[in-house]
Amino acid sequence: MLSGTRRDVIVVGGGPAGAATAALLAMNGRDVLLLDREEFPRYRIGESLMPATYWTFQRLGVLEKMHAGPFVKKESVRFFAPSGRGALPFYFDEVEQGESSITWQVDRAPFDKMLLDHAAEKGVEVRTGVNVTDLLMERERVVGVQTSGGDRDMRSLPGRVVVDASGQNGLLARRLGLRVMDPGLRHVSYFTRFHGGLRDSGRDAGATLILRTGNGDSWFWSIPLSDDLVSVGVVGHIDYLLKGRSKDAQEVFTEERALCPPLEDRLQGATQEGPVQVLRDFSYISSRIAGDGWVLVGDAFGFLDPIYSSGVFLALKSAEYAADSIHEALAADDLLGSRLGRHGEEFVAGVESLRRLVYAFYDDNFSFAKFLRHYPQAREDLVNLLVGNVYRRDCSGLIELLDRWAPLPDYRPLRLSHSAT
Ligand SMILES: Cc1cc2nc3c(=O)[nH]c(=O)nc-3n(C[C@H](O)[C@H](O)[C@H](O)COP(=O)(O)OP(=O)(O)OC[C@H]3O[C@@H](n4cnc5c(N)ncnc54)[C@H](O)[C@@H]3O)c2cc1C
């Protein structure tokens, strides 16, 4: 039995992808219900933003809130070789002028809550503590969601469009069997946070540091947050970080730390806050981005790899694309997948540009220093990719060079067809 009035849009998940999609649709006058199973604020990994998030923040109208929030300003990213030697930072203002050249390191609990509250301010009905357990289908068309938790009258909810923004959980992609794992990025990550430790000074104080371990088999991120906190995580291939290693996450993390002297130096005297957490096999894409009555956004559609901190940027960008497609589809009263997913190819082209750079990073022959010695003219395009300018600048010249240097494996899972499964 369906209960309640039929919404224009039901969004499953209140992370950045869901909150942004919902807010943009509400700003266009759509009737939007957003459901999240957790209560906010809630913890999430993924604290470093790309500068190109600026344009979605501007469109959402949250720039003032970003400036006022408890976030650290990030002006660059710096890579350390296995030898421990740090390259010169890539400063974003090499390619980006003005305010958008500076981005933020965000504690996701207050950041995600700010975006969700903003969606509510824009008219979205936000319900937390409501778990979406299934989709309501009429043949191959999604017509609503099934829930548990929350009010009794919230059990079977009809919606003209369902947006899956449920993150790595991937409610819809799993149910319809759409998820394709990225074969070259079978990684695992161990991460935690520290209080104290050494920070760089001046404009480098908020930089993301990417530090390869001495054996070159893994790399650490170090992301400075507010209140003296720093987020630290190690990433490596499943075969290296899981097989034959201790089951104790803390032990593996400590072993890897010992292989990374420049990180060790920075963490001298720092105090670990909370246990080491583990995530694995987080890189995948869905074979479709939309179908009849449904659209995927953010991690529910795909996730690349943490190396360039592109997760939240792509989540926000996919939200923009999806909100526009959905708004137009509702206006035309045509809710077929072909209309709801018309942004798919354009969105995926940007993801694929970043994927080339991800694959290059993991190629044994590649290093930024070597690459730029060979192709100094590629620096501007390279910084544009690190900024996230994959939808605003033409980076095809760089993509061609990267293809020559570290070709992508034959992996083309995307059908992006819009017909039923
Ligand atoms: C190791 C690692 C490091 C990372 N580092 C970075 C980084 O530095 N920078 C960066 O930008 N990104 C990073 N990311 C990626 C980032 O975490 C994600 O890309 C981002 O959180 C995606 O946002 P989202 O809104 O799609 O999903 P999420 O933020 O995961 O939100 C999904 C929401 O859906 C809700 N939900 C799930 N299932 C249901 C259900 N059945 N019913 C109701 N609600 C549901 C959840 O409670 C959650 O609130 C990292 C990822 C990993 C794995």
Closest atom of ligand 1 relative to the 168 alpha carbon? 30
Closest atom of ligand 1 relative to the 17 alpha carbon? 25
Mean pLDDT (the chain) is 94
Question: How many other CB atoms are there within 10 angstroms of residue 275's CB atom?
Answer: 10
Closest atom of ligand 1 relative to the 130 alpha carbon? 43
Instruction: For residue 179, list its beta bridge partners.
Output: 286
What pLDDT, on the 0 to 100 scale, is given for residue 408?
A: 78
Domains in the chain: ranges and CATH: 7-71+106-180+284-362 (3.50.50.60), 187-280 (3.30.9.100)
CA distance linking residue 367 with residue 406, whole number of Å: 11
Q: What are the φ and ψ backbone dihedral angles of 70, each rounded to 5 degrees?
A: -80, 55
Q: How far is the CA of 291 from the centre of ligand 1 (A)?
A: 22
Best of 190, 299, 307 for a ligand 1 pocket test (most atoms within 8 Å of beta carbon) = 299
Any ligand 1 atom below 6 A from CB of 171: yes
Best of 166, 237, 241 for a ligand 1 pocket test (most atoms within 8 Å of beta carbon) = 166
Taken in order 358, 363, 367, 372, the sign of the CA dihedral is negative
Question: How many other CB atoms are there within 10 angstroms of residue 91's CB atom?
Answer: 19
- 319-331: per-residue pLDDT in tens? 999 999 999 999 9
Instruction: For residue 211, list its beta bridge partners.
Output: 80, 220
How does residue 420 score in pLDDT terms, banded at 50, 70 and 90?
very low
- Mean per-residue pLDDT, 395-402: 91
Q: Which two tokens stand for residue 97?
A: 């002028």
Question: Strand pairing of 156-164 and 7-12?
Answer: parallel
Q: What are the φ and ψ backbone dihedral angles of 365, each rounded to 5 degrees?
A: -85, -10
Q: What are the φ and ψ backbone dihedral angles of 206, each rounded to 5 degrees?
A: -105, 15
What pLDDT, on the 0 to 100 scale, is given for residue 150?
A: 66
Any ligand 1 atom below 6 A from CB of 45: yes
The answer to whether 160 and 8 have CB atoms below 8 angstroms apart is yes
What pLDDT, on the 0 to 100 scale, is given for residue 405?
A: 81
Any ligand 1 atom below 6 A from CB of 312: yes
Closest CA to 416 of 352, 363, 328, 358: 352
CA distance linking residue 219 with residue 419, whole number of Å: 41
- 149-205: per-residue pLDDT in tens? 766 666 899 999 999 999 999 999 999 999 999 988 999 999 999 999 899 999 999
Any ligand 1 atom below 6 A from CB of 170: no
Any ligand 1 atom below 6 A from CB of 236: no
- 314-361: per-residue pLDDT in tens? 999 999 999 999 999 999 999 999 999 999 999 999 999 999 999 999
What pLDDT, on the 0 to 100 scale, is given for residue 3?
A: 60
Q: Which two tokens stand for residue 47?
A: 């604290």
The answer to whether 133 and 154 have CB atoms below 8 angstroms apart is no
What pLDDT, on the 0 to 100 scale, is given for residue 411?
A: 63
The answer to whether 229 and 194 have CB atoms below 8 angstroms apart is yes
- 284-302: per-residue pLDDT in tens? 999 999 999 999 999 999 9
- Mean per-residue pLDDT, 231-240: 98
Any ligand 1 atom below 6 A from CB of 47: yes
Quote the percentage of the chain above a pLDDT of 70.
Answer: 95
* Residue with CA at minimum distance from ligand 1 atom 52: 306
**Angle made by CA atoms 227, 212, 86, in degrees to the nearest 5:** 75
- Mean per-residue pLDDT, 114-125: 98
Best of 10, 21, 37, 320 for a ligand 1 pocket test (most atoms within 8 Å of beta carbon) = 37
The answer to whether 45 and 112 have CB atoms below 8 angstroms apart is no
Say yes or no to pLDDT of 244 above 90: yes
- Mean per-residue pLDDT, 82-110: 97
169/364: higher pLDDT: 169
Q: Which amino acid is at 257?
A: R
Any ligand 1 atom below 6 A from CB of 35: yes
Any ligand 1 atom below 6 A from CB of 390: no
CA distance linking residue 231 with residue 49, whole number of Å: 13
CA distance linking residue 211 with residue 16, whole number of Å: 27
Q: How far is the CA of 60 from the centre of ligand 1 (A)?
A: 19
- Mean per-residue pLDDT, 45-61: 98
Say yes or no to pLDDT of 93 above 60: yes
Q: How far is the CA of 315 from the centre of ligand 1 (A)?
A: 9
What pLDDT, on the 0 to 100 scale, is given for residue 1?
A: 45
CA distance linking residue 384 with residue 378, whole number of Å: 10
Quote the percentage of the chain above a pLDDT of 90.
Answer: 88
The answer to whether 420 and 292 have CB atoms below 8 angstroms apart is yes
Closest atom of ligand 1 relative to the 167 alpha carbon? 27
Closest atom of ligand 1 relative to the 38 alpha carbon? 47
Say yes or no to pLDDT of 2 above 80: no
Any ligand 1 atom below 6 A from CB of 276: no
Closest atom of ligand 1 relative to the 171 alpha carbon? 41
What pLDDT, on the 0 to 100 scale, is given for residue 419?
A: 39
What pLDDT, on the 0 to 100 scale, is given for residue 416?
A: 53
* Residue with CA at minimum distance from ligand 1 atom 38: 166
Lowest mean pLDDT among 99-108, 160-169, 223-232, 401-410: 401-410
How does residue 366 score in pLDDT terms, banded at 50, 70 and 90?
confident
Q: How far is the CA of 300 from the centre of ligand 1 (A)?
A: 9
Spatial CB neighbours of 41, under 8 Å, sequence gap ≥ 6: 109, 110, 112, 113
Closest atom of ligand 1 relative to the 19 alpha carbon? 25
Q: How far is the CA of 30 from the centre of ligand 1 (A)?
A: 25
Any ligand 1 atom below 6 A from CB of 48: yes
What pLDDT, on the 0 to 100 scale, is given for residue 154?
A: 63
* Residue with CA at minimum distance from ligand 1 atom 1: 189
CA distance linking residue 394 with residue 253, whole number of Å: 39
- Mean per-residue pLDDT, 118-147: 96
The answer to whether 183 and 176 have CB atoms below 8 angstroms apart is no
Say yes or no to pLDDT of 213 above 80: yes
What pLDDT, on the 0 to 100 scale, is given for residue 417?
A: 47
Best of 10, 36, 135 for a ligand 1 pocket test (most atoms within 8 Å of beta carbon) = 36
